């Protein structure tokens, strides 16, 4: 049976990405994303917690992360979970590491103190950038056609029944 290994996280970078190159000149960026969550403790009170998740982005995606992401940047990462082990340098035994190998990255607006606000999406080895239209704040409240999503749909696509009408209408729906 073929497995399924996907992870999607959203949070803020804890520090600037560390962009490096292999001896074969392949770029990779390492960074950590802080993901906040809330849970109820044993006494029924809500507690806040944070998970710190290591991420590695290779190739063009790694260069993009190194160039555009900074400490505090809100980001969404999609990738696969990877585990590895190595012997500790001090000889104290094996160490294990779990990290996300990023396939896609979306910059989620701006962090405090910086300008911007539009979301930007970048892909790893399967493509260079999203290539599609990425909605921003200027698109809020616009229709599909006004926002640039109209390609492939006729203006009345929701009303088109292609002759499959059974005589029932939705006129009784209050919205």
Q: What is the pLDDT of residue 114?
A: 45
Separation of alpha carbons 16 and 30, rounded Å? 9
Other CB atoms closer than 10 Å to residue 10's CB: what's the count?
A: 14
Average pLDDT, the chain: 77
Pairing of strands 18-21, 27-40: antiparallel
Measure Cα distances from 3 to 6, 80 in Å: 10, 11
Q: What is the pLDDT of residues 155-175, one digit of tens each?
A: 444 444 444 444 555 555 554
Q: Which of the pair, 136 or 107, is modelled with greater confidence? A: 107
Which domains, and CATH codes, for the chain?
A: 7-132 (2.40.50.140), 137-163 (no CATH)
Task: Please report which confidence band the pLDDT of residue 109 belongs to, taking 50, 70 and 90 as the band edges.
Answer: confident
According to DSSP, residue 107 is labeled: E
Q: How far is the C-alpha of 36 from the C-alpha of 47, rounded, in Å?
A: 11
Q: Is the pLDDT of residue 81 over 80?
A: yes
Residue 37's alpha-carbon distances to 11, 33, 46, 71, in angstroms, are 10, 13, 10, 19
In angstroms, rounded to a whole number, what is the distance separating the alpha carbons of residues 36 and 40? 14
The SS3 of residue 164 is: coil
Q: What is the pLDDT of residue 162?
A: 46
The overall pTM is greater than 0.75 = no
């Amino acid at each position: 049976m073929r497995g399924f290994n996907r992870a999607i996280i959203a949070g803020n970078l804890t520090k600037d990405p560390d962009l490096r190159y292999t001896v074969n000149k392949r770029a990779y960026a390492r960074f950590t994303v802080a993901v906040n969550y809330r849970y109820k403790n044993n006494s029924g009170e809500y507690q806040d917690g944070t998970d710190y998740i290591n991420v590695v982005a290779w190739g063009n995606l790694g260069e993009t992360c190194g160039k555009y992401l900074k400490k505090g940047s809100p980001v969404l990462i999609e990738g696969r979970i990877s585990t590895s082990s190595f012997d500790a340098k001090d000889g104290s035994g094996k160490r294990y590491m779990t990290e996300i190998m990023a396939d896609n990255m979306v910059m989620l607006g701006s962090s405090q103190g910086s300008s911007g606000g539009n979301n930007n999406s970048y892909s790893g080895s399967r493509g260079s950038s999203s290539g599609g239209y990425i909605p921003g704040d200027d698109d809020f409240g616009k229709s599909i056609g006004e926002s640039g999503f109209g390609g492939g749909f006729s203006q009345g696509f929701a009303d088109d029944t292609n002759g499959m009408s059974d005589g029932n209408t939705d006129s009784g729906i209050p919205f």
